[in-house]
């Protein structure tokens, strides 16, 4: 999320998620700044940086939703990208300088046969121009200074990788579903190398971040029209939207008051939660030590809490 900025004059108590359809040519930081200027929330953060070249889903947390950003970032992400063969770029995307070329263009059958090798838990070396830290500095800062940069390999998880269309011998459009920390640019680079050539990402669109999908996203150009009515237009999603993988635990009004004060409450043996539409509810007897839950007072989220030895201990209180 970066450093927290002070609220703008006249800031409003907006709490929830806004899904932005980030345009190409704009950094995630500039997109956040544009939303801050248009809506003036007390606090704002985002779930997962997109490179300036990339477009698509950029979930923005407003107000109390900033306390749930980590859970959104941990969710699966989906991308659609164009792999262009024949040129390796310094940044592994179209913004970098050409550093290697190849005349080889893989056949469709070879491409299809190579994809399964990149599905599952794989070791991946991040791009030299990336935000990973090397000796206390960002890799991209070292690369821009002319240093030879080779980040350490890291284990990432690719859920699926499939060919959507082959647009002639030069390009292939692919769809990727992956876990946290996966670099699409590295995947494209390594796939091209496995096919006996070189390549880079020519276009990239993120279509999903956890529960936030492409059909929820609004274009940046629409923000000024929202003005003071983001919630009225239905674009402001509830704070708990980011918590799809976190089970709900119903608490009484008295328990909710204690949790809001930062105090733990005993729940072992208490009655289970009432029916809710999410299907995420847990009875206290189903909890195991260390489980993170969303304590709910009726339909209102109270706090993210951890169950330990019969108690629910607040981790992040939600002031809603």
Closest CA to 47 of 221, 239, 291: 239
- pLDDT value of position 8: 67
Range 16-75+214-241: architecture per CATH: 2-Layer Sandwich (3.30)
- The fourth-level CATH superfamily of domain 77-209 is Pseudouridine synthase (3.30.2350.10)
- pLDDT value of position 278: 41
- pLDDT value of position 273: 40
* Domain range summary for the chain, segments of one domain joined by +: 16-75+214-241, 77-209, 246-317
Q: Tell me which residues of the chain have a pLDDT lower than 70.
A: 1-8, 225-234, 268-286
- Whole-angstrom distance, CA of residue 5 vs CA of residue 3: 6
- The fourth-level CATH superfamily of domain 246-317 is PUA domain (2.30.130.10)
Instruction: Give kind and range of the element (H or E) at residue 73.
Output: helix 69-73
DSSP letters spanning 246-296: SPEEE--HHHHHHHHTT--EE-TTPPPPPP-SS--B--GGG--TT-EEEEE
The answer to whether domain 16-75+214-241 and domain 77-209 are alike in fold is: yes
- pLDDT value of position 183: 94
Strand ranges (E), 73-220: 77-85, 87-89, 98-101, 120-124, 133-134, 137-138, 154-166, 171-178, 199-209, 212-213, 218-219
- Whole-angstrom distance, CA of residue 41 vs CA of residue 35: 9
- Whole-angstrom distance, CA of residue 294 vs CA of residue 304: 5
Active centre residues (catalytic): 51
- pLDDT value of position 270: 43
């Amino acid at each position: 999320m970066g450093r927290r900025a002070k609220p703008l004059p006249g800031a409003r108590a907006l709490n929830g998620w806004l899904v932005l359809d980030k345009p190409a040519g704009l950094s995630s930081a500039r997109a956040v700044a544009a939303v801050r200027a248009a809506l003036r929330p007390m606090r704002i953060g985002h779930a997962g940086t997109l490179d300036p070249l990339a477009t698509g889903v950029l979930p923005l947390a407003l107000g109390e939703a900033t306390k749930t950003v980590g859970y959104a970032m941990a969710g699966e992400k989906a991308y659609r990208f164009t792999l262009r063969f024949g040129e390796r770029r310094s940044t592994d995307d179209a913004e970098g300088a050409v550093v290697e070329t190849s005349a080889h263009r893989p056949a469709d059958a070879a491409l299809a046969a190579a994809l399964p090798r990149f599905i599952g838990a794989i070791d991946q070396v991040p791009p030299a121009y990336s935000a990973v830290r090397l000796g206390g500095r960002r890799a991209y800062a070292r690369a821009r200074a002319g240093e030879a940069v080779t980040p350490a390999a890291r284990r990432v998880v690719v859920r699926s990788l499939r060919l959507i269309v082959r647009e002639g011998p030069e390009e292939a459009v692919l769809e990727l579903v992956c876990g946290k920390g996966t670099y699409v640019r590295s995947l494209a680079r390594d796939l091209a190398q496995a096919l006996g050539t070189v390549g880079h990402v020519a276009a990239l669109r993120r279509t999903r971040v956890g529960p936030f999908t492409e059909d929820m996203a609004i274009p940046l150009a629409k923000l000024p029209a929202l003005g003071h009515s983001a919630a009225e237009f239905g674009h402001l999603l509830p704070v708990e939207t980011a918590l799809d993988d976190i089970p709900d635990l119903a608490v009484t009004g008295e328990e909710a008051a204690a949790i809001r004060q930062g105090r733990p409450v005993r729940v072992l043996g208490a009655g289970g939660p009432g029916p809710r539409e999410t299907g995420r509810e847990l009875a206290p007897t189903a909890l195991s030590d260390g489980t993170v839950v969303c304590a709910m007072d009726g339909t209102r989220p109270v706090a993210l809490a951890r169950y330990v030895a019969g108690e629910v201990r607040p981790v992040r209180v939600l002031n809603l």
